Amino acid sequence: MDEYERKSLFRELTTRHQSQLYGYLYALVHNHDDTEDLLQSTSLVLWRKFDQFDRDTSFISWATRTAYFEACNFLRTRRTKQVSFSEELLDAFAEHYETPRDDSDEYHEALAGCVRSMPDDDRTLIDQAYGEGQSAGEIGEQLDRSRQSVSNSLRRIRQTLLHCIRRKLAKEGRS
Amino acid sequence: MTTDRTNNDRFARLASAILEGEATPAELAELDALLLADASMRDEYLDLCRLHSELGFAAKSSRAASAAMDALETAMGSDETETSEAPRQKGTKASGKKKEVVGSSSPRPAPVTLQPTIGNFLTRHNVSVGMAAGLLFVVVVLTWAAVTYLPGMASKDEPADGDSNYVALLSRRDRVVWLDGTRPEANRSEVVHGQRLAFESGMVEIRYRTGATVVIEGPADFTVGKKAEGTEAQREDNAGFLKHGSLVARCDTRKSKGFAIHTPNAYVVDQGTEFGVDVDKRGAAEVVVLSGEVDLVREASEAGPEERMRLTKNQAASVEPESRAIKRRSTADVQLASAMRSRLKTIDGGSAKADLVTQLGILDLRFNRGINPATRRRWKAGDTYRLIFATSTGIDATSADIADYNAFIQNAANTSPLGLGSVKWKALVSTEAVDARDNTSTNVTVNGAGESFWLVDGSSLVADNYADLYGSDTRASKINISETGGATLATPNNWGHTWTGSDETGVEKANDALGAGDGTSVVGLCNFKTHDHWIDRFGGTAQTNKYSLYGVSEVLKVTERTTPEPSGETRGKAPQDKKSEVRRSRSEKDKE
Per-residue pLDDT reduced to its tens digit, B13-30: 899 888 888 888 888 889
Q: What is the pTM of this model?
A: 0.45
Nearest to B106 among A14, A18, A135 (CB): A135
Q: How far apart are CA B201 and CA B187, in angstroms?
A: 21
Assess B158–A contact: CB distance below 8 Å, yes or no: yes
Res B522: pLDDT: 83
Q: B85 in helix, strand or coil?
A: helix
DSSP symbols for A9-74: HHHHHHHHHHHHHHHHHHHHH--HHHHHHHHHHHHHHHHHTGGG--TTS-HHHHHHHHHHHHHHHH
For residues B17 and B392, give the distance between their C-alpha atoms in angstroms, rounded to a whole number. Answer: 43
Q: What is the mean pLDDT of residues B465-493?
A: 75
Q: What is the pLDDT of residue B327?
A: 87
The pLDDT confidence band at residue B437, using thresholds 50, 70 and 90, is very high
Q: Is the pLDDT confidence value at B123 over 80?
A: no
Give per-residue pLDDT as tens, B175-195: 778 887 788 776 566 788 888
Phi and psi for B136 in degrees, rounded to 5? -60, -35
Q: Are strands B307-312 and B293-298 parallel, antiparallel or unpaired?
A: antiparallel
Sequence-separated (6 or more) residues with CB below 8 Å from residue B301: none
Answer with the residue of higher pLDDT: B106 or A162.
A162
Chain B partners within 8 Å of A59 (Cβ): 186-187
Residue A102 touches partner B, C-beta closer than 8 Å: yes
Contact A108 B175 (CB under 8 A): yes
Asked if A135 and B84 come within 8 Å (Cβ–Cβ), the reply is no
- pLDDT value at residue B384: 95
CA geometry: angle B64, B67, B70, nearest 5 deg: 85
More confidently predicted of B282 and A105: B282
pLDDT band for position B444 (cuts 50, 70, 90): very high
Which pLDDT band holds residue A143 (cuts at 50, 70, 90)? confident
Tell me how far apart the alpha carbons of residues A171 and A114 are, in angstroms, rounded to a whole number: 14
Does residue A35 have a pLDDT over 90? no
Any B CB within 8 A of A116 CB: no
Render the burial of B411-424: b for 16+ CB within 10 Å, e for the rest. ebbeebebebbebe
CA distance B514 to B344: 44
In the predicted structure, residue B255 carries a pLDDT above the cut 80: no
B179 part of contact set with chain A, CB < 8 Å: no
**Residue of B481 and B427 predicted with greater confidence:** B427
More confident residue, B217 or B116: B217
In whole numbers, what is the pLDDT of chain B averaged over residues?
A: 71
The amino acid that residue B543 corresponds to is Q
- Chain A's closest residue to B474, CA to CA, is A33
**pLDDT score at B79:** 40
Lowest model confidence (mean pLDDT) among B344-358, B525-539, B541-555:
B344-358
Q: What is the per-residue pLDDT for B549? A: 94
Q: How far is CA B463 from CA B122, B191, B372, B482, in A?
A: 23, 42, 11, 17
Q: Write the CB contacts of B275 (distance below 8 Å, at least 6 apart in sequence).
A: B248, B249, B268, B287, B288, B289, B290, B292, B294, B311
User: What Å distances lie between residue B179 and B184, B200, B404, CA to CA?
Assistant: 11, 6, 60
Provide mean pLDDT across the span B496-501.
87
Helix (H, G, I), strand (E, B) or coil at B286: strand
Three-point CA angle B279, B285, B289, nearest 5°: 105
Asked whether the beta carbons of B480 and B550 are under 8 A apart, the reply is no
Predicted complex ipTM: 0.91
